[in-house]
Amino acid sequence: MQGLCGLNSRQINHLHNNAQVKHIIGAKPPTAPAGLPAARLVEVDADSAGQRLDNFLIRHLKGVPKTHVYRIIRSGEVRINKGRVSADTRVEAGDVVRLPPVRISDKVAEKAERPAPAREFPILLEDEHLIAIDKPAGVAVHGGSGVSFGVIEQLRQARSASKFLELVHRLDRETSGILLVAKKRSALTHLQDQFRERETGKTYLALVTGAWPANKKVIDLPLHKYLQADGERRVRVTTADDPDGMRSITLVKVRSTVPARAAQGLPTMSLLEVTIKTGRTHQIRVHLASQGHAIVGDDKYGDFDLNKRLQKLSMKRMFLHAWRLQFNHPASGERVQLIAELPPELADFVSPA
């Protein structure tokens, strides 16, 4: 169609709809209820192109619960180029997204006005496509579930000039080690596809109680996620016929044995290289504990009495570290291998002076 070159079909329909609406006599734009801001129109830029609508909204509607985000999509309050859409619609560069007025609690609003403190993290690799950081233990990767902010919010504050920073994958708050952040949407999509298709190599270092049998190299047990009465998320090994069970495969190699320290009340321990072929929630922690060798310092699935003794010896964290990550670079396609050595508090514990 002459004069419309470069526009997608959704944008062309938007222009047609606009022309029709202008001729409606007496039409008035809807007004927001008292106390609410007016609806906003946001144009999608190139960096956001290809993103799912729900993720686009979560980024723009700070502090709005996800359940409410999905509700306003289903109700038709969110529009793209004035047309109704679904949560999995992909936004395109140049699309105009209508963001309806939303009400959030005073507490959430106050929190949104207090940005996360800016923080940089140790860098293992950085280029124009991605950042690989060495995440310390005790820091969540993102805010939520009682956590005001995490790595990604702090990194965005530290790099306010960066248009795009998104987590490629996640690590438990208690786990240290390699974490990837994408600097372009194309890199995010490419890397997440590799994680989903199990084309990455993810190996952790874990210290467990007892002497791990050298011939126990593969754990292939399904896992089942559930919520406790207090709302805490937990995972357990289940049976193959459990409809909610997810097949989970973990490979284990013994790196070294740490002798018992009777004077300190510590048993024999094993330092393991653990490679996961599937990325289930708490997979390593639950699989190792199911074999009678819980991770040292694990406050959910570990030996709680031992953990108390370890805290008195200044070992106050879980001994699980994302040590090695292999992936194909999103731009060059070259195979990349990253190594994050054990942080001092873990290295010193297994190799005391």
Could you give the count of Cα atoms lying within 13 Å of 303 in the half-sphere of its Cβ? 19
* Structure tokens given for 18: 């606009």
Contact 116, 153 (CB under 8 A): yes
- Give the tokens for residue 21: 């609406």
Q: What is the pLDDT of residue 35?
A: 54
pLDDT of residue 103: 78
Backbone angles phi, psi at 135, to 5 degrees: -70, 130
How far, in Å, CA of 192 to CA of 155, rounded?
Answer: 20
Q: Which residue numbers are catalytic?
A: 172
Residue for token pair 């190594």: 339
pLDDT score, position 28 = 44
| pLDDT by 10s per residue, the chain, length 353 | 445 555 566 655 555 555 443 443 344 444 545 555 688 999 998 878 888 899 889 888 877 888 889 999 999 999 999 999 999 999 999 999 999 998 776 665 566 566 789 999 999 999 999 999 999 999 999 887 677 889 999 999 999 999 899 999 999 999 999 999 999 989 999 999 999 999 999 999 999 999 999 999 999 999 999 988 888 889 999 999 999 999 999 999 999 999 999 999 999 999 999 999 998 999 999 999 999 999 999 999 999 999 999 999 889 999 999 999 999 999 999 999 999 999 999 999 998 65
| pLDDT, position 24 | 38
Domains parsed from the chain with CATH numbers: 9-14+36-110 (3.10.290.10), 200-318 (3.30.2350.10)
Strands 123-126 and 83-84: what pairing?
unpaired
Question: Can you tell me the distance from the alpha carbon of 310 to that of 230, in angstroms, rounded to the nearest whole number?
Answer: 27
Task: Measure the CA–CA gap between 68 and 48, rounded to whole angstroms.
Answer: 22
* CA atoms of 14 and 1, how far apart (whole Å): 15
Angle at CA 58, nearest 5°, toward 52 and 64?
A: 150
pLDDT at 5: 55
Tell me if 229 sits within 8 A of 259, measured CB to CB: no
Instruction: Specify whether the CB–CB gap between 269 and 207 falls below 8 A.
Output: yes
| Pairing verdict, β 269-276 and 176-182 | unpaired
Cα separation values, 328 from 86, 165, 338, Å:
32, 19, 11
